[in-house]
Amino acid sequence: EPEVTQTPSHQVTQMGQEVILRCVPISNHLYFYWYRQILGQKVEFLVSFYNNEISEKSEIFDDQFSVERPDGSNFTLKIRSTKLEDSAMYFCASSGGLGEKLFFGSGTQLSVL
d(CA 82, CA 12): 11
Q: Tell me whether residue 72 or residue 97 sits nearer to another protein (CB atom).
A: 97
- In terms of phi and psi (left: phi > 0; alpha: psi -120 to 50; beta: otherwise), the region of 40 is left
22-41 residues in contact with another protein (CB under 8 A) are 31, 33, 35, 41
Does residue 8 have a cis peptide bond before it, meaning omega lies within 30 degrees of 0?
Answer: yes
Q: Which stretch binds another protein (CB under 8 A): 49-57, 60-68, 70-78, 79-87?
A: 49-57
Cα first-last separation, the chain = 36
- Determine if 21 is a binding residue for another protein (CB under 8 A): no
Q: Which residues contribute to the site for another protein (CB under 8 A)?
A: 4, 6, 31, 33, 35, 41-45, 48, 50, 55-56, 58, 91, 93, 97-99, 101-107
